Amino acid sequence: MIEPFLLTALLLVFASVLCLYRTIRGPTVPDRIVAVNVIATCTIVIHVLIAFIGNQPMFVDIAMTYALLNFLVTLVAARYLATGRIFA
């Protein structure tokens, strides 16, 4: 039963490596921000898979915290690109 989850985690790691390439070689800054956001999302899903496989609910809490931070950083980066400032 663990093999499908392990395969899923490996596919997510492969997707993260592809996004890492886009982060380094992205043609524009928004492309790089989206790639970093996808890497963070893959990391969140991997944390949830680890929590499910190892029966460790603490990893779900960590994943939720990381998801909130990822969302906030993405909003701040988008605001900075749109207006040139972070705060009002």
| Residue among 33, 40, 41 at smallest CA distance from 77 | 33
For residue 11, being part of any structural domain is answered with yes
Task: Tell me the per-residue pLDDT of 17-42, one tens digit each, with 9 for 90 and over.
Answer: 999 999 999 899 889 999 999 999 99
Residue 64, both tokens = 């939720």
For residue 88, being part of any structural domain is answered with no
Confidence check: pLDDT of 47 > 80 = yes
For residue 49, being part of any structural domain is answered with yes
Amino acid, single-letter form, for residue 51 = A
What is the extent of the structural domain holding 70? 2-83
Looking at the structure of the chain, the number of domains it has is: 1
For residue 8, being part of any structural domain is answered with yes
The model carries a pTM of 0.85
